[in-house]
Amino acid sequence: MNRRQFLTASTGLALAAGRGLAVPYADQKPRRVGLIGSGWYGKSDILRLIQIAPVEIVSLCDVDKQMLAEAADLVASRQRSKKKPRLFHDYRDMLKQKDLDIVEVATPDHWHALAMIAAVQSGVDVYVQKPISVDVIEGQAMLAAARKHQRVVQVGTQRRSTPHLVEAMNEFIRPGKLGKIALVDICCYWHMRATENPPDADPPPYLDYEMWTGPAPMRPYNKLVHPRGWRAFMEYGNGIVGDMCIHMFDMTRWMMNLGWPTRVSSTGGIFEDKKSKANITDTQTATFDYPDLRIVWQHRSWGAYPDADYPWSATFYGDKGTLKASVFGYDFIPEGGGKRIHRDVTYEFEQYPEDKTEKDLETHCAPAIRHHMQDFLAAIDARTKPVADIEQGYISTTSCILANLSMRLGRTLTWDAATQRVKDDDEANKLLRRPYRSPWVHPEPDHV
């Protein structure tokens, strides 16, 4: 079954689920699901899963008691059984129960590796949010663990399952209607970087900040950090490149069937907003080189958008046409004045009316998440690799990490895909691993 056929079929499954009809999965027994990290996107993901499959969310884990209780109430109101999930403070205690089929890891980025590896070691299949890791060796260990324990692992790079983007790939890129593509511009110009500088304070009583910090460096608690604001700090992630570039870079690789870039370079810094407590860049350019192809990333969290219709997007430049693609739609512009083709995202509100009222849901992403979950379940049933297999997540995540390392070192990095090292650069290779805060131990690819 090719990707278009799958999406056509899975759309039918989604419609059936939305009408309350039986969904023809290989195993009708409800799959038992646990969630590690009950915040914004964790809830968005599992509530989409409830919409399209016979699942039971039996366990939730979070170090924020207030967030955990709210998530439990929401899940109980939406799942078929109306049962509240069991609540856990430590993901290791949740996994010890050995009664789950699927686990989603939706923690802040600095926790992805340890939680995902523990989950596959416990024998479950995993949906892990992107980026998969905050350093390269973590990603290598995650891939090794998935393969060793023969687990299906889907990464939350759901552009690969976005219906209108699947259409754009199948209609324009794969058939060659753009001709030779030699440049892809990817970008994010949303003003998403934190601009505040509040004083540090004591963490709230409902948050275990020691456990929340885990293997990351210990910073004084600040209200910018939790919830969701942790993306403003390099201690917990990889900045806007790690958060937003990975989506568009991964989408480009998928659409063009690309593997590893040969060279990665990046420059940037905090050029405009020097008053914020945030320590991620507000301006950065990164270049990913392939033979006869260059992918160029740009983010700027200030000033005007170059194209108001495509502030977070990829533009594919071919000698026969141009394709602009984003989460909201696409435009195909042929050379020579041919017919321009435009498509908007389909929201699916009629099938899933709860999308209209769900708090904090990115409604334009809901169909993509549903299709991504369907792809994940199909891969579990067939014991095959899903569309965003952990190896693909590792390639896209590592490439973005290398961009940040290039900026830090002030030079281009040449990646050796065979050895999984930077060529002839001992200093760069030492930075492929971040130090872990005691007592947490950094995972190793050979010991998972």
Residue-wise pLDDT tens digits, 402-430:
999 999 999 999 999 999 999 999 999 99
Measured CA to CA in angstroms, residue 133 lies from 37, 112, 208, 349 at distances of 15, 6, 22, 33
The band of 338, judged by pLDDT with boundaries at 50, 70 and 90, is confident
Q: Is residue 439 in some structural domain? A: no
Asked whether the beta carbons of 30 and 55 are under 8 A apart, the reply is: yes
**Residue 281 sits in the same domain as residue 328:** yes
Higher-confidence residue: 22 or 411? Answer: 411
Strands 421-422 and 413-416: antiparallel
Q: Is residue 325 in some structural domain? A: yes
Q: Assess whether pLDDT exceeds 90 at residue 169.
A: yes
Strands 31-36 and 102-105: parallel
pLDDT at site 15: 37
pLDDT at site 29: 77
Q: Is residue 445 in some structural domain? A: no
H or E element at residue 293? strand 293-300
Q: Is residue 355 in some structural domain? A: no
- When mean pLDDT is compared across 13-27, 59-73, 312-326, 428-442, the lowest value belongs to 13-27
CA dihedral (82, 29, 351, 250) in degrees, to 10, reads: 110
DSSP string, 154-212: EES-GGGG-HHHHHHIIIIITTTTT-SEEEEEEEE----S----PPP-PPPTTB-HHHH
How many C-alpha atoms does 30 have within 13 Å on its Cβ side? 15
Where residue 287 sits, what CATH number does that domain have? 3.30.360.10
Q: Degrees (nearest 5) of the Cα angle 414, 401, 252? A: 80
Q: Assess whether pLDDT exceeds 60 at residue 27.
A: no
Q: Assess whether pLDDT exceeds 80 at residue 23.
A: no
What's the number of domains the chain is made of? 2
pLDDT at site 101: 98
Asked whether the beta carbons of 36 and 71 are under 8 A apart, the reply is: no
**Residue 151 sits in the same domain as residue 177:** no
Q: Is residue 316 in some structural domain? A: yes
The pLDDT of 250-276, averaged and rounded, is: 98
Asked whether the beta carbons of 116 and 102 are under 8 A apart, the reply is: no
Asked whether the beta carbons of 441 and 220 are under 8 A apart, the reply is: no
Measured CA to CA in angstroms, residue 59 lies from 36, 55, 208, 421, 429 at distances of 9, 12, 19, 38, 39
The pLDDT of 352-378, averaged and rounded, is: 97
- DSSP label at residue 23: P
The pLDDT of 250-256, averaged and rounded, is: 98
Q: Assess whether pLDDT exceeds 50 at residue 161.
A: yes
The pLDDT of 279-287, averaged and rounded, is: 98
The band of 159, judged by pLDDT with boundaries at 50, 70 and 90, is very high
How far is the C-alpha of 287 from the C-alpha of 174, rounded, in Å? 23
- Rounded to 10 deg, the angle between the 65-78 and 40-52 helix axes is 20
Q: Is residue 187 in some structural domain? A: yes
pLDDT at site 313: 98
Residues with Cβ within 8 Å of 20's Cβ and at least 6 positions away in sequence, in order, are none
**Residue 125 sits in the same domain as residue 175:** no
H or E element at residue 439? none
pLDDT at site 28: 64
- DSSP label at residue 49: H
Q: Is residue 13 in some structural domain? A: yes
pLDDT at site 11: 41
Name the residue range of residue 151's domain.
3-160+377-389
| pLDDT tens per residue, range 64-85 | 999 999 999 999 999 999 999 9
Closest CA to 229 of 272, 268, 278, 284: 278
Q: Which residue has the tokens 């991964």?
A: 250
Q: Is residue 370 in some structural domain? A: no
The band of 39, judged by pLDDT with boundaries at 50, 70 and 90, is very high
How far is the C-alpha of 178 from the C-alpha of 157, rounded, in Å? 24
Q: Assess whether pLDDT exceeds 70 at residue 351.
A: yes
The pLDDT of 386-408, averaged and rounded, is: 98
